[in-house]
Structure 1
Amino acid sequence: MPNAAKRPTLPPAGRRRAMEFGMFHEFHRRPGQTEADAFTESFELVDAAETASLDVMWLAELHCAPDRSVLAAPLAIAAAIAMRTQWMKIGIAVQVLPLCHPLRIAEEAATVDHLSHGRLIFGVGRSGFPRTYQAYGISYAESRERFAEVLEILRSAWTRETFSFHGQFYRFDDVCLVPKPYQNPHPELRIAVNSPDTYQQSGEAGLPIFVATRLGDLDELVPNLRAYREAWAAAGHPGPGKVYLRVPVYVAPTEQQAREEPRDSIMFFYKYLGERIEASATQEGARAIENRAARGQRLMSIDYEEVLRSKIIVGTPAMVADRLAALRETLGLAGILAELNCGMRIPHDRVVNSLNLLCRDVMPRFRGSGPLGPNFRE
């Protein structure tokens, strides 16, 4: 474990990269594992990422999924990571704001920001699954309004000495929260987007975004990102807006290994995901325009060749670097959140090897390069 007593505020000189490389970590519970073993193995990946000089460790938030994950409390895990790492940033991807009490989450996030000496990136979202809302006793139909209120309260709690708020769900008068964040004015906010209207809203708000290919394909992102950047520019925000892609990635020494070693895990994942998306289509609050049932059925029947073409990045280090460079040019990416074992079936040692190859042989190609491809125009 790294020496937590020597924790610099910033990465060592020369380690900053224009294109950010992160790992999306769900703290998987693989078949047959105890919860304790899942935590132990997951923290081993965290330590390996720090040693390999990964930019960011991204933490999911998952509830009521005993066959999948033990990561129900991302800020608690972030605090633990802050104390066992020295310079790797710690990201939340994402905190499901409608499920949170805004004052409590503001206090906890600010505390983690101090423990990490300003290494926290706070990603926020609503989650696409009503099932968790039902478990928490919160209406998914209210998720948009609750999200907006909690986000507004967070910003006020972090940036104002005292504040009051009177909304539909929360009312506070003359509240003073401590600690204030280590970073000024607060940790960087990024927002997960999925539906077309949230792309435009996020651009108008001037927020960096997370995008993913779980429901759709990489090609489907292009028009949505155009709408995001047009809204960003129309609102007068500087630059083009930062986009971060969450995507399954697997790197291996040979092309055959890269294709075949993750095959069973990846196909299990898309069937698992498709079943849950289809089931969610009839749950309270789900919107018909999202075509959930049809998307779920498509994922359950998708073949591996189509997955390789349109949803994931696998290959040798050179192949993965080439694919990322092309996507950076097409989508204007500022970074990625690599899902190294989305289906939980890849053995731990192979996941560690994939992580090391990504950091050692892929990331150096993107040192000193801009977040946008050479032909991308703001």
Structure 2
Amino acid sequence: MHFDLFYELSVPPFMQRRETAVYAETLDELALAEELGFRTAWLVEHHFMPGYSHSTAPDMFLAAASQRTRRLRLGNAIFPLPYHHPVRVAERVATLDVLSQGRAEFGFGRGFSPVEYATFGVSMADSRSYTEEAMDIVRRSFDGAPLSFAGRHFQFENLEILPKVVQQPHPPLWTAAVSPDSFEMAARLGIGVLVGPFKPWFMIREDIRHYRAAWQRYHGDAPAGAGQNPRVAMTLGVYCHESAKTARERAREPFEWFYGQLLNQTRPVLENLYESYEYYRKMGKFRGLLNKTVNLTLLDTLGMAAVGDPKHCIKRIEALKKAGVDHVLCAFGAGAMPTEAVRDTMQLFADTVMPAINGDGR
């Protein structure tokens, strides 16, 4: 199992942290993460969500991180393709791959915010077809050959996309997966899934089973081929302390605020899942989640966070590993937790939880 980091670059008013400090301290945390054996740093892209997410240009942030690190991999989680021309996306991913000397991870998705769609002039009704065309263009651009395309949304001829990616055949591909259809699509395309922190574990466990079964149908038992990525990555709010009581006391305010903001932002998506998919409707706890005030006990009960002493965190993550999660994207700084607390919990997690799960090799 791989252990990664996940950031929204939150700047909530109650934490009294400035944007400049959050950015600078996060870069310092990534340098420490590399020393501790974490594998990848993932940043979201959101717009017009003050407090909750100030990560509006993650590729620029990751480019800066590439110059502070040498082994840590750097991923977009995710590039919302409907907001960008795919040629520009291909150029930016390749630029990060060059700057990092082959450490880029490319996560993409459709986005979910009506405000973002309206501001960037894209119809949400076109999001699926737009994303499918854009992903086809980006994927083909990595081949390095001159590229032509004639589709509904994009038309161009004989473009040479520069720079060229370092990794061959291309950086690992991931997609944000929420609905059963998106897990099915990821399996069909042979790409990994990025699972957000806004669904309960009992739902994600079923999603993973669906993804593995679909992969089997499309690809059989053969080892993953060149360019394929059969991995599951799950985001999890994590705070680990020697004292379980202290862990809960420190995490309560920032985590409850963070998850409250997150569920508020994604509520339309979650409501749509409940109404659209029979197997979600059968899971009555889901409707209860949407109607409850978020608190740390609820998050822990639903497996959406791991807050406690090392023993508790180990137990929670062992369950993820058993169910087929390959990467845990640890949101140590959820809710703009003070950087001193983030660094302390990263250190303890690396010293206790990671060896318990993977052995000394972490």
Relative to the length of structure 1, the TM-score reads 0.84
Is 1:264–2:248 an aligned residue pair?
no
Aligned to 2:318: 325
Q: Which amino acid aligns with 2:310?
A: P
Aligned 8 A contact 1:340 1:354 in 2: yes
Pick from 118, 123, 133 the counterpart of residue 107 of structure 2.
Answer: 123
Q: Which amino acid aligns with 1:327?
A: L
Is 1:217–2:192 an aligned residue pair?
no
Aligned to 1:181: 165
Is 1:172–2:156 an aligned residue pair?
yes
Counterparts in 2 of 1:93-242, with a 5 A limit?
93-214=77-198, 216-237=199-220, 238=222, 241-242=230-231
Q: Give me the identity figure in percent.
A: 29
The Cα shift of 1:279 comes to: 6.6
CA spacing shift, 1:67–1:163, aligned 2, 3 Å: same
Aligned to 2:308: 315
Q: Which amino acid aligns with 1:313?
A: A
The Cα shift of 1:287 comes to: 9.8
SS at match of 2:239: strand
CA spacing shift, 1:99–1:286, aligned 2, 3 Å: farther
Aligned to 1:7: none
The Cα shift of 1:184 comes to: 0.5
Aligned to 1:9: none
CA spacing shift, 1:303–1:33, aligned 2, 3 Å: closer
SS at match of 1:137: coil
Aligned to 1:298: 290
Aligned to 1:357: 348
Q: Which is further off, 167-176 or 25-34?
A: 25-34
Aligned to 1:255: 244
Task: Supply the distance in 1 between the matched residues of 2:291 and 2:332 (Cα, whole angstroms).
Answer: 19
Aligned to 2:357: 366
The Cα shift of 1:353 comes to: 0.9
Aligned 8 A contact 2:80 2:111 in 1: yes
SS at match of 2:181: helix
SS at match of 1:220: helix
Q: Which amino acid aligns with 1:367?
A: N
Aligned 8 A contact 1:277 1:295 in 2: no
Q: Which amino acid aligns with 1:182?
A: V
Aligned to 1:57: 41
Q: Which amino acid aligns with 1:181?
A: V
**Structure 1 segments unaligned to the other structure (5+ residues):** 1-18, 372-378
The Cα shift of 1:254 comes to: 1.1
SS at match of 2:75: strand
**Structure 2 segments unaligned to the other structure (5+ residues):** 225-229, 281-285
The Cα shift of 1:280 comes to: 7.4
The Cα shift of 1:202 comes to: 1.1
Task: Supply the distance in 1 between the matched residues of 2:137 and 2:253 (Cα, whole angstroms).
Answer: 44
SS at match of 1:108: helix
Pick from 65, 69, 75 the counterpart of residue 53 of structure 2.
Answer: 69
Task: Supply the distance in 2 between the matched residues of 1:185 and 1:45 (Cα, whole angstroms).
Answer: 30
Relative to the length of structure 2, the TM-score reads 0.88
The Cα shift of 1:23 comes to: 0.6
CA spacing shift, 1:119–1:274, aligned 2, 3 Å: closer
Q: Which amino acid aligns with 2:120?
A: Y
CA spacing shift, 1:30–1:302, aligned 2, 3 Å: closer
Task: Supply the distance in 2 between the matched residues of 1:166 and 1:25 (Cα, whole angstroms).
Answer: 36
Select the structure that is richer in helix: 2
